[in-house]
Amino acid sequence: MANNSTILQVYSSCVAAIGHGKLITRESRQDKEFHFQNWFLSRLEDTGIHYEQGGRNSYPDFRIVHVAEGYEVKGLAYPGREANYDCNSQVPSGNHNGRSIFYVFGRYPAKPDGDSYPLLDFVICHGDFLNADHEYIHKNKSVKGFGSYGDIMIRDRKMYVAPTPFGIVSGVAHGKTLILPYDHEVSGEYKPVGELSRKEADSLVVGYSFDLRQNTLTPETIPNPCAGRLHAFKAWRTRDDSDEPVTMREHPVVVVEEDEDDPDGQ
């Protein structure tokens, strides 16, 4: 990966802000999405790096101007759902439209006693740690002709449920951690705290079909030509930070099927 990457500067800015007690601030109790993103935005501005911010449903959340990199931000309430998260617009990946993508995860109190509160822990990881496939292109499609009069359209709006680092590795809770591809250049201000690898699955989902009569969803799979391939990563922290090792979970948290009924019609 290019040595002009912004990741070390951005991560250092976040770590410094946490150390200086920079709090997350929500504008109201209804602000359930953007408070952590706004906190990260301030850290990005602290670096002086030029960036572009996307709209509500654009991807990634922040695009760096002078180098082909982007940052996608995910806040997680704790205690609460932390092992996985919903991806409403794009499946996670380490590359999108030629940009290297980094994912920023921060956990904060689920029930704070005010509108300002600290980060409980913090992880930035390269997108390949979540999914190493760079070929899949997300698109929403539609089918016309549904209903007794044939004038109803069904929209196929895909949502992906992906794991977070908290569900994949141990040793990142209540700390600050950076996870990068094994060969990423890192300065002497950082120390390694773990060597990690992820193995590609035996099969790939390449399609699915939905039976409207039985309300059943059936996946279509093929053998993965890269089955068993290992993707290597390293976990890093700043020199003055914790030495707690980061390791792959022996039994990673598996995404289980949940009730997908939506009573609000969203």
Long-range contact set of residues 23-28: C-beta below 8 Å, sequence gap at least 24: 23/116, 23/117, 23/118, 24/106, 24/108, 24/116, 24/117, 24/118, 24/119, 25/115, 25/116, 26/115, 26/116, 27/115, 28/115
Q: How confident is the model at residue 265 (pLDDT cuts 50, 70, 90)?
A: very low
pLDDT of 256 reads: 57
Strand partners, 198: 231
Distances (CA, A) of 133 to 23, 86, 89: 35, 18, 16
User: Once rounded to an integer, what is the mean pLDDT over residues 1-28?
Assistant: 90
Determine the Cα–Cα distance for residues 201 and 225; give it in Å rounded to an integer: 10
Q: What is the chain's mean pLDDT, rounded?
A: 91
Determine the Cα–Cα distance for residues 211 and 218; give it in Å rounded to an integer: 8
Annotated domain spans of the chain: 7-248
Tell me if residue 51 falls in helix, strand or coil.
strand
Give the number of other Cβ atoms within 10 Å of residue 50's Cβ: 12
- Global pTM? 0.91
pLDDT tens for residues 62-72? 999 999 999 99
pLDDT tens for residues 28-55? 665 566 899 999 999 999 999 999 998 7
pLDDT of 263 reads: 39
Give the number of other Cβ atoms within 10 Å of residue 138's Cβ: 13
Determine the Cα–Cα distance for residues 266 and 259; give it in Å rounded to an integer: 14
